[in-house]
Amino acid sequence: MPGEALKDLADYIVEKLDGDAAGYSFAKDELVIHTDPKALLHVLQFMRDNRECQFQILIDITAVDFPERAGRFEVIYNLLSVRQNNRARIKVSVNENEVVPSAVSLFSTACWFEREVWDMFGIPFDGNPDLRRILTDYGFEGHPLRKDFPLSGYVEVRYDPELRRVVYEPVSLPQDFRRFDFLSPWEGITDVQLPGDEKAVCPPHGWHPVERTVNAEQDK
């Protein structure tokens, strides 16, 4: 449970922000302040400059995708106060096409963090001076950390020796469909029966012989 000092700090922040904070909660004994995009910069500046807060270090900016919510994305700012020995999170809920104001004017480290959120989730930040992809390639399609992004991706990359360059091709998954029941350690092997897999159903063409390479030293 959070200490009384942290609870008092949370009440103080909400009171001083005068409506710009929608409320607060605690996650693993850390303070979480909820706000909206219009009040975000004011909240961040207050958390940084107020004498009782002094959250002067922006550790990270990340996001979470909740496709079933009206405000699909939750943008999270992780702050650290070395002077007060406290951590805090600022959470902002935004719709899929909603723009979030950039925090670069308050924290210079926000530039790369916002680029990563844009790259992974597709959340735009108004005022970021260099909003472009940072983890994926320039020609990458989609945003990989969205819940509706396919696990296989849309394209695969390979080096073409004839063209002497990297080429993009549609994802091709030639392997047969396999059903995993998690009862056997040899789920991926369908033609060979190995020890521990006696439950497996013999395929119509029968089992393939298992080739064993025996070390010459073991034969002696």
- Give the domain range for residue 188: 177-213
Least confidently predicted of 92-96, 123-127, 172-176? 172-176
Asked whether residue 73 is domain-assigned, the answer is: yes
Same domain for 105 and 43: yes
CA distance 206 to 187: 17
- When pLDDT is averaged across residues 174-187 and rounded to a whole number, the result is 55
| pLDDT tens-digit series, residues 103-112 | 999 999 999 9
| pLDDT tens-digit series, residues 64-104 | 999 999 899 999 999 999 998 899 999 999 998 899 999 99
Share of residues in the chain with pLDDT > 90 (%):
56
Same domain for 182 and 75: no
Inform me whether the pLDDT recorded for 213 exceeds 70: no
Which residue, 95, 126, 157, sits at the end of a domain?
Answer: 126
- We report the CATH number of the domain holding residue 91 as 3.30.460.80
Which residue, 103, 126, 149, sits at the end of a domain?
Answer: 126
Reported as a pLDDT band with limits 50, 70 and 90, residue 208 is low
Same domain for 189 and 118: no
Asked whether residue 120 is domain-assigned, the answer is: yes
Q: Which long-range contacts (CB under 8 A, 24 or more apart) does 106-111 make?
A: 106/41, 106/44, 106/45, 106/48, 106/58, 107/44, 107/48, 107/58, 109/58, 110/58, 110/61
Domain count, the chain: 2
Same domain for 183 and 115: no
- When pLDDT is averaged across residues 5-34 and rounded to a whole number, the result is 91
Same domain for 183 and 116: no
Same domain for 181 and 118: no
Share of residues in the chain with pLDDT > 70 (%):
78
| pLDDT tens-digit series, residues 150-165 | 887 888 888 999 999 9
CB-CB contact of 141 with 163 (8 Å): no
Asked whether residue 198 is domain-assigned, the answer is: yes
Reported as a pLDDT band with limits 50, 70 and 90, residue 116 is very high
Inform me whether the pLDDT recorded for 28 exceeds 70: yes
Asked whether residue 193 is domain-assigned, the answer is: yes
Chain-centre distance of CA 29, in angstroms? 22
- When pLDDT is averaged across residues 43-68 and rounded to a whole number, the result is 96
CB-CB contact of 178 with 190 (8 Å): yes
CA distance 98 to 112: 20
Same domain for 119 and 16: yes
Asked whether residue 60 is domain-assigned, the answer is: yes
Reported as a pLDDT band with limits 50, 70 and 90, residue 216 is very low
Q: What is the pTM of this model?
A: 0.74
Same domain for 182 and 120: no
Same domain for 188 and 119: no
What is the reported pLDDT for 215?
46
